[in-house]
A and B are shown apart, each in its own frame.
Chain A
Amino acid sequence: MKRRTIKVDELTRVEGEGAMHIEMRGDEVTDVKLTIYEPPRFFEGFMQGRDYSEAPDITARICGICPVAYQMSSVYAMEDAFGVEVDGVLRELRRLLYCGEWIESHVLHVYLLHLPDFLGFESAIHMAKDHGETVAKALRLKKAGNAIVSTLAGREIHPINVKVGGFYRAPTKQELGGLLEELEWSLGMAEEMVRFTAGLSFPDFEKDYEFVALRHPEEYPCCEGKLVSNRGLDIPISEFREHFVEIHEPHSTALHCKLKERGMYFVGPLARYNLNFDKLPENIQELALEIGLGKTCRNPFKGIIIRSVETLYAVQEALRIIKSYEPPAVASVPVEPRESVGHGCTEAPRGILYHRYELAEDGSIRHAQIVPPTAQNLPTIEDDLRQYVTQFMALPDSELKWQCEQAVRNYDPCISCSTHFLKLTIDRK
């Protein structure tokens, strides 16, 4: 029987380090492994004994691409533990900060990490030689997202203004007002991004996934809501551990997370969109239908369109928040530590990010659990590769290898996060 091996020792255009290894025997795929060799950093270990107030700054360091997500999940968890609700303008400011991160992270992935696959370039820098204007405009849009984060919270990477209870300092009207001009331009650019990505060609690849995302009664999800799926999951975030389980596989320094009852599932932009289409503003729903995206999308390669739709949403939402902004009387609400357990789950650009803390009476952390989105998607990514290789086995090795890399990048995997992942090997035996 013919054996075939395809391997990539170092997966590129992903955040962090991992490898892919695929083995085939004749027409059968015998093994698919995403080996994650990113060194472990033991965050949950050294969180023990730290003060609750340190969680937003320390957990941000798990990921340089989505630090806001870590800060938000941790502050919501602490506030849940202490019985504090942060509402009104402060809640709006948190949403604004998250919009900034969605924009910079999605634009980074769409144009710099994923688009080169669709257009056949090694990188956005190679792509810029033929598509200079597109890359320049993308960088300008990315910068508009980063400007939200740095204006509101000091700097783009590891912002310094987020605390349990709110912010250290609320921005002035003038500071936020300064963002309006670029965001107005970004609105048009983001719509262009949606139409452009919708015009790309996509492999005919669909699967019947279980999608999991937050759902909020009034808005497209961000920091709050219930955890729902298209197969009947509907739970408060505090019941996460009763329904999800983390598994330690030998080939990975990232834990894999599965649904106890049904196994693998899918988090991220596709899940959010499919489960919350009705919560998008009317103009964005109309645009999505006009470009032929439909209300449900099961093709992970089309994640690039949905990231663009979400970018448009985030720009629009940021403009709404800034235009109605009146500075709050106080930048944060007081919190009183107590012996407690708190849960936080927010929609990081790559999907749900769950934090759980057990706290002592003095506010020190007794136990921390952090479940990042990529760890949740790993079993699904491996399964996608298995099906993809089976479906497209006739392709020559070099082409199949590149397309498998693209299939991994569909998920915008963040390996730095998931080890709290990637090399690629396709093995045809």
Chain B
Amino acid sequence: MANNRPKLAVFKFASCDGCQLSLLDCEDELLAVAGKVHIAHFPEASRESVRGPYDVTLVEGSITTPDDVERIQKIRRRSKMLVTIGACATSGGIQALRNFRDVKEFTSIVYAHPEYIRTLETSTAIADHIPVDFELRGCPVNKYQLIEVLNAMLWGRKPQIESGSVCVECKRRGTVCVMVAQGMACLGPVTHAGCGAICPAYNRGCYGCFGPQETANMDPLSEKLAGLGVLATNIARLYSTFNAGAEPFEKARRQVEATNN
């Protein structure tokens, strides 16, 4: 029987599986979603695999191997709308730390026979290789935002995803600023909203897992952090975690390191 529901596909590159798991974590919405779309390719959840073209494709993970470079092109050709989900897919993820070091050194640390391993020198975002229709940030993505993006793609409208900083979410939540009141290092002012400002609500500074917001003003934050007595090496570490490959964070890290040397 022909199935008239729009086809949804989920593909994975280098990642932890957490972002696609977010879909299965939508306990209240999963069956409703499954009723509206035909889950045509989602290996983590189903043996069934239907060939494209797909109406909406979700891509998790970053490009790290020569095969990945070819595979993402094929996926793009089979997808009407393609959305990248999570820090790996949108900025290269934590594995982008290799971009700043010699990858041969890494393989020899982890693997006894580095010659068995085929990998690229860099871990890069999907949008560095193909045109992407929407990038949803977060490490992991917010599952409610994921549902919103899916809905928007299915209805052919723009997703309603807030583009401000974590600071705005903190104010809305009524959390007292941990940087102002307690002198904690916090990346809230430069980090893309979406998590709901959970870290400050749990008495810790934001560590930037949603990546830089669109207009991240990095230098004043670096100065503020230095003023709070945070060592340059620690500021550099703060900028080089799950979105280390995102341009504003990478530039700010280099800046801090250059000033310090």
Does B113 sit within 8 A of A, measured CB to CB? yes
Within 8 A of B (CB), among A402-429: 402, 405, 414, 416, 420
State the CA gap A331–B202 with chains docked (Å): 11
In the complex, chain A residues whose CB is within 8 Å of the CB of B30: 125, 139
Nearest CB in chain A: distance from B178 CB, A: 10
State the CA gap A54–B12 with chains docked (Å): 26
In the complex, chain B residues whose CB is within 8 Å of the CB of A132: 31
Does A263 sit within 8 A of B, measured CB to CB? no
State the CA gap A113–B43 with chains docked (Å): 10
State the CA gap A169–B44 with chains docked (Å): 34
Does A57 sit within 8 A of B, measured CB to CB? yes
B27 and A140 contacting across the interface, CB-CB below 8 Å: yes
Nearest CB in chain A: distance from B210 CB, A: 12
- Among A11, A43, A123, A255, contact of B111 (Cβ-Cβ < 8 Å): A255
Does A168 sit within 8 A of B, measured CB to CB? yes
- Among A42, A58, A113, A140, contact of B110 (Cβ-Cβ < 8 Å): A42
User: Nearest A residue to B103 by beta-carbon distance?
Assistant: A42
B18 and A122 contacting across the interface, CB-CB below 8 Å: no
State the CA gap A123–B39 with chains docked (Å): 10
Within 8 A of B (CB), among A354-402: 402
Does B98 sit within 8 A of A, measured CB to CB? yes
Nearest CB in chain A: distance from B44 CB, A: 6
Chain A 1-38 against B: per-residue CB contact (8 Å), 1 yes, 0 no?
00000000011111111000000000000000000001
Which stretch from B45-53, B150-158, B211-219, B250-258 is at the chain A interface?
A: B45-53
State the CA gap A132–B35 with chains docked (Å): 12
Question: Are A139 and B27 also in contact (CB < 8 A) when A157-B140, A168-B204, A169-B202 are?
Answer: yes
Does A146 sit within 8 A of B, measured CB to CB? yes
State the CA gap A14–B44 with chains docked (Å): 6
Nearest CB in chain B: distance from A93 CB, A: 13
Does B203 sit within 8 A of A, measured CB to CB? yes
User: Nearest A residue to B242 by beta-carbon distance?
Assistant: A61
Chain B 1-43 against A: per-residue CB contact (8 Å), 1 yes, 0 no?
0000000000011111111011011011011001000010011
In the complex, chain B residues whose CB is within 8 Å of the CB of A10: 43, 49
State the CA gap A60–B251 with chains docked (Å): 26
A54 and B237 contacting across the interface, CB-CB below 8 Å: yes
Nearest CB in chain B: distance from A63 CB, A: 5
A248 and B98 contacting across the interface, CB-CB below 8 Å: no
A108 and B24 contacting across the interface, CB-CB below 8 Å: yes
Which stretch from A45-53, A183-191, A226-234, A269-277 is at the chain B interface?
A: A45-53
Does A197 sit within 8 A of B, measured CB to CB? no
Does B195 sit within 8 A of A, measured CB to CB? yes
Chain B 99-120 against A: per-residue CB contact (8 Å), 1 yes, 0 no?
0010101110111110011010
Does B95 sit within 8 A of A, measured CB to CB? yes
State the CA gap A405–B47 with chains docked (Å): 10
Question: Are A248 and B112 also in contact (CB < 8 A) when A13-B44, A135-B31 are?
Answer: yes
A123 and B31 contacting across the interface, CB-CB below 8 Å: no
Within 8 A of A (CB), among B49-96: 49, 64-65, 68, 93-95
B17 and A15 contacting across the interface, CB-CB below 8 Å: yes
In the complex, chain A residues whose CB is within 8 Å of the CB of B203: 168-169, 331
Does B198 sit within 8 A of A, measured CB to CB? yes
B44 and A157 contacting across the interface, CB-CB below 8 Å: no
In the complex, chain A residues whose CB is within 8 Å of the CB of B195: 155
State the CA gap A105–B13 with chains docked (Å): 22
Interface centre among A116, A157, A414, A420 (most CB of B within 10 A): A157
A112 and B24 contacting across the interface, CB-CB below 8 Å: yes
Does B234 sit within 8 A of A, measured CB to CB? yes
Does A156 sit within 8 A of B, measured CB to CB? yes
In the complex, chain A residues whose CB is within 8 Å of the CB of B106: 42, 45-46
B202 and A161 contacting across the interface, CB-CB below 8 Å: yes
Does A65 sit within 8 A of B, measured CB to CB? yes
Within 8 A of B (CB), among A150-174: 153-158, 160-161, 163, 167-169
User: Nearest B residue to A138 by beta-carbon distance?
Assistant: B27
State the CA gap A22–B34 with chains docked (Å): 34
B140 and A420 contacting across the interface, CB-CB below 8 Å: no
State the CA gap A116–B202 with chains docked (Å): 39
State the CA gap A124–B116 with chains docked (Å): 36
Nearest CB in chain A: distance from B45 CB, A: 5
Does A64 sit within 8 A of B, measured CB to CB? yes
User: Nearest A residue to B204 by beta-carbon distance?
Assistant: A168
State the CA gap A15–B43 with chains docked (Å): 9
In the complex, chain A residues whose CB is within 8 Å of the CB of B19: 64
User: Nearest B residue to A146 by beta-carbon distance?
Assistant: B25
User: Nearest A residue to B95 by beta-carbon distance?
Assistant: A41
In the complex, chain B residues whose CB is within 8 Å of the CB of A108: 24
In the complex, chain B residues whose CB is within 8 Å of the CB of A255: 110-112
Question: Are A44 and B31 also in contact (CB < 8 A) when A12-B43, A13-B45 are?
Answer: no
In the complex, chain A residues whose CB is within 8 Å of the CB of B112: 246-248, 255
- Among A39, A167, A405, contact of B119 (Cβ-Cβ < 8 Å): A39
B21 and A65 contacting across the interface, CB-CB below 8 Å: yes
Nearest CB in chain B: distance from A78 CB, A: 16
A15 and B44 contacting across the interface, CB-CB below 8 Å: yes
State the CA gap A109–B116 with chains docked (Å): 31
14 contacts between A and B (CB under 8 A): A12-B43, A14-B44, A41-B94, A43-B94, A46-B101, A64-B21, A123-B46, A125-B31, A143-B27, A156-B25, A158-B209, A168-B202, A331-B203, A416-B15
If A42-B98, A122-B47, A123-B45 are given as contacts, then 18 extra A-B residue pairs at C-beta distance below 8 Å, sorted by A number, are A12-B45, A39-B65, A42-B103, A45-B101, A45-B106, A45-B109, A54-B241, A61-B93, A108-B24, A122-B48, A123-B47, A125-B30, A125-B45, A126-B48, A136-B31, A139-B28, A154-B202, A160-B207
Task: List 4 A-B pairs, minimum CB-CB distance, nearest first.
Answer: A64-B18, A123-B46, A45-B106, A143-B27
